[in-house]
Chains A and B, each alone.
Chain A
């Protein structure tokens, strides 16, 4: 699907959500994200395990080494956007703590969700993140991949930490994880 078309579609849908819910853009974003969470796990787990080409599934591209996470995430961007992925995403940055917890920071030079939007003021978004849907998607992909490989890690949170619509110079999604035993 066209990237600009996708961003515009989300903008227009949120306009309708807001109207139907009779609330703010923040309410509309919350509802939207809540719905995505339900569907994401199902769609992605299927995508990982089902053969996509010549009997080979996407799971073959996954690595059990946590240090490979930035590379496999970048491969996922390539798969999603194609050869132009580098125009949008920087190479993800992994931080690992001694206790096994850590985070993956994904920076965007341009945002696929909001580049075409010029009618939302940052005050309108309030406490919600406009790119929360993309953060949910990335977090779910990693969670489902780890579950599939029975990795000893869990995704604690996937959130948007920088946003062009809020006036930040780049977009950023942070995925926080920890070993499975920790709470």
Chain B
């Protein structure tokens, strides 16, 4: 009988980086996480913390996936596909002094339209942390001007879709 093969930590990480799991765990714990932070540190700090969690997770994932693509559009699309197995719509809106990237997600994994959290306008605000890490990754090849990130719509607070914006001042 053959002995069971022993995988190295690196190969397990590689396996897991390509594997998907249903959204049950996130559905179960994410609303509680928001409530916990909300009660302990208030709305502003809660948003900052969950967004920062997203940023740190995305940094590690990008170091494992190491995508060759560094342009904003394809990189963000790649990230959403690999992380949440979702397709997003990315719209670039130019005006005189700004360029806005609208990231539109109709199947956000963090928003549950049936679970409304009092005082939380954008439950999926953690996503902007992931986007921030993507921008940082992109900027290593294509330096970026100053930008702002914000979540403007969430399915979890009654909107039809979730929308995150990257705002570049030109």
Where the two chains meet, the residues of A that have a C-beta atom closer than 8 Å to any C-beta of B are 1-9, 12-13, 16-17, 20-21, 31-32, 35-36, 38-40, 43-44, 47, 79-82, 84, 87-88, 109-110, 112, 115-116, 118, 133-134, 137
B61 near A8 (CB under 8 angstroms)?
yes
Complex interface: chain B residues within 8 A of A32 (CB): 29
Question: What range describes how many residues of B lie at the interface?
Answer: 35 or more
Within the complex, what minimum Cβ distance (angstroms) separates A11 from chain B?
A: 8
Which residue, B21, B56, B57, B83, has most C-beta atoms of chain A within 10 A? B21
B28 at the interface (CB under 8 A from A): yes
B9 near A12 (CB under 8 angstroms)?
no
Find residues 9-62 in chain B having any chain A CB closer than 8 Å to their own CB.
9, 12-13, 15-17, 19-29, 31-33, 35-37, 40-41, 49, 52-54, 56-57, 60-61
Complex interface: chain B residues within 8 A of A3 (CB): 16-17, 19-21
Q: Name B's interface SS.
A: helix
Which residue, A5, A17, A36, has most C-beta atoms of chain B within 10 A? A5
Within the complex, what minimum Cβ distance (angstroms) separates B84 from chain A?
A: 6
Q: Contacts A84-B19, A116-B60 given: A16-B53 contact, CB under 8 Å?
A: yes
Complex interface: chain A residues within 8 A of B21 (CB): 1-3, 6, 80-81, 112
Q: Name A's interface SS.
A: helix
Complex interface: chain A residues within 8 A of B56 (CB): 8, 12
Q: Contacts A1-B85, A1-B109, A84-B19 given: A8-B32 contact, CB under 8 Å?
A: no
A35 near B17 (CB under 8 angstroms)?
no
B82 at the interface (CB under 8 A from A): yes
A1 near B23 (CB under 8 angstroms)?
yes
B2 at the interface (CB under 8 A from A): no
